[in-house]
């Protein structure tokens, strides 16, 4: 799956979704439902609740590769020690069998920080494209 971009961990957001501070479940209703359903079915109800409550930080979509990344702001903020001493890194990637186009990216503290979408369902393109901060730059 797509690796977590280090800019997502501490970078600023410029997404149009930011103004409304939309929850992941509010901005991507069907996707949130599908992923949460599988998380609950596999005994990860804690992650399902966290995913639904996360705030969308930014959305990027590359139409050439058909890859999207939804950066999320976790509910639980890091303490000063976690942030300044330990530091935030990519911790785990969770793939889905019922939604093989998606993966959750967790940081080293177990918080959901992104949803990566590779060859996602066609109807999601029309949601990702207008919300994306990605801008194609020619040669």
Over the chain, what is the mean pLDDT? 75
| 57 neighbors 74 (Cβ within 8 angstroms) | no
Higher local confidence (pLDDT), 24 or 138: 24
Contacts of 37 (CB under 8 A, 6+ apart): 48, 98
Percent of the chain beyond pLDDT 90? Answer: 28
Q: What is the pLDDT of residue 14?
A: 40
Torsion angle of alpha carbons 81, 86, 52, 105, nearest 10°? 170
Q: How confident is the model at residue 2 (pLDDT cuts 50, 70, 90)?
A: very low
Question: 136: number of CA atoms within 13 Å, CB side?
Answer: 9
- pLDDT above 80 for 29: yes
- pLDDT above 60 for 20: no
Q: What is the pLDDT of residue 120?
A: 59
- pLDDT, tens digit, for every residue of 44-83? 999 999 999 999 999 888 877 878 899 998 888 877 877 7
Q: What is the pLDDT of residue 127?
A: 62
Q: How confident is the model at residue 124 (pLDDT cuts 50, 70, 90)?
A: low
Q: Among the residues of the chain, which ranges form H helices? A: 6-10, 24-27, 29-41, 45-53, 80-81, 122-131
- Is the dihedral angle over the CA atoms 15, 20, 26, 32 positive or is it negative? positive
CA-nearest of 133, 135, 96, 101 to 117 is 101
Instruction: Count Cβ atoms below 10 Å from residue 74 Cβ, excluding itself.
Output: 19
């Amino acid at each position: 799956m797509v690796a977590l971009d280090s800019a997502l961990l501490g970078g600023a957001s410029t997404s149009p979704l930011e103004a409304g501070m939309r929850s992941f479940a509010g901005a991507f209703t069907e996707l949130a439902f599908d992923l949460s359903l599988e998380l609950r079915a596999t005994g990860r109800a804690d992650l399902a609740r966290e995913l639904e409550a996360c705030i969308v930080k930014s959305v990027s979509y590359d139409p050439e590769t058909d890859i999207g990344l939804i950066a999320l702001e976790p509910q639980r903020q890091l303490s000063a020690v976690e942030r300044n001493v330990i530091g935030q890194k990519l911790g785990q990637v969770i793939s889905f069998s019922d939604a093989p186009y998606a993966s959750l990216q967790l940081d080293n503290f177990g918080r959901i920080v992104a949803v990566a979408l590779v060859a996602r369902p066609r109807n999601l393109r029309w949601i990702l494209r207008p919300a994306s901060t990605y801008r194609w730059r020619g040669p």
